[in-house]
Structure 1
């Protein structure tokens, strides 16, 4: 519960700063005005999870041009949406995006619920997204805490408990400083502050509008907050991928809906483990590319050894798949790992020609 005093001053000072210095973003209303389209607020918030504003901008423009309403997105084909999402990563977000759009169109007449509780009931909408949409799109008082806000709050109150255990304490402190009015502007102002001034490294405390009320400024090292638990070493896995080319087309498969890169087009590949099966999907004269393609997932790193071969006209790999024009491989919507594999094949073939 918010209290009077220092907490009220923090909100007032930050909103005054936001009135002048708010970032101009395509999904954002000007300071003092609630967003008029919850669909675009929701879409941007889902895209921005664990992704930078710079990376999201082109995807947001592409999505809103192709699917300008939640009903249009709900009618999209799974494969089209997954292809459009390719490169943004964390592909479960794309599957949840489609499930949520369809629920809004089917169960709510194309209108997003205007409360946190109603938003939380939608598929794929968690506490953060529900709070952000409720505050930014509907002007509801909601406590919005993303990684930037965590950092700002931890420094304001010198919260010394390491993350992630500190999150309840951080949220409670964020609740105390969230105002009843302009909660959406306040949430976006906190995000802006963390992204542009109260950065993870070398925070610009000298120009921070909250420096007079920030406990971390009084310490020798404000960047020491939030305190982070020691990182665990990610396990390393190996895998094999096969580029099967025939008459200017490459064989692509669709990964299972559940699991990593679910529903995405991809090259046929082995399991990803300490000792993956290296048996190719069909007999051919295979060329192995060295070094393997490196990629880091959330929970492990991967070295994918890529093999490529040209096959005769009547050769068809086992299982379901499609022959995709090599010249149009950029339109296949391959996730980053397999886009890198395709680029490795192209470079290897050019070097051999």
Structure 2
């Protein structure tokens, strides 16, 4: 009777895991579990410098990417309406200045009299060349993106629509903030977003701004480090720095990542690029959908259907203009 059939400690044995399939995750969302919680805690410890008692707020990279797509959509609809109004004004001006009126004015002034209006037209300076659309900033934007790294790092790589303002300026006694920051300070429906490589500098600058009365300052969680892992394409111009592919200690490389650092393929940032192009928006939209559809973030069929409907509605809104385009959805 004391004997037992088989191994009595069979249930205590752990199932061996293969390193080849260690990164594979299930497609069905089974709810909360200890493994998911530990994976989230490990991700926070590796990528974020979250501390208790922070005076500023944080903004997720996926939320900022969705905001970028929404801002570009609204500006595109407003600019299309402005172009239609300009065409109507040109038609009205052509109708008002008919050949009969010009001949009648010539008769009143007398034959051979110098037409001062034509002389003034000849003396006018030639119009300035119109800049391409990519080199003009958005007319309406609810956010101010600030790069607090040094100017050399900004010229090598930065996020599109970001303004360079090195962290050394925050320690000045007089005028520590830029004019744009003061314009966005505590403005309703507008936020200020600071970012750097690994949150080491941005958190200090955001704390300084919060202590000086800024209530709408945010820090982009993870900085360029998380961007290199989750959304490396569509948001930046230039090549990501080597620091974005290393851990906080700067010695070990990050295991997970969508792109790998290649020191031979360094491309400087385009300093004339002031807004996102159609190529950037297309790549960003696809990358954002893939990020939200990842098994670690949303593996259930219900969340996948919601994201598919959201992407289809975004595509339909980009092709059609709305009558209420003056309403800002970010408010």
TM-score, normalising length: structure 1:
0.21
Larger radius of gyration: 2
TM-score, normalising length: structure 2:
0.22
Structure scoring higher RCO (CA < 8 A, sep ≥ 6) equals 2
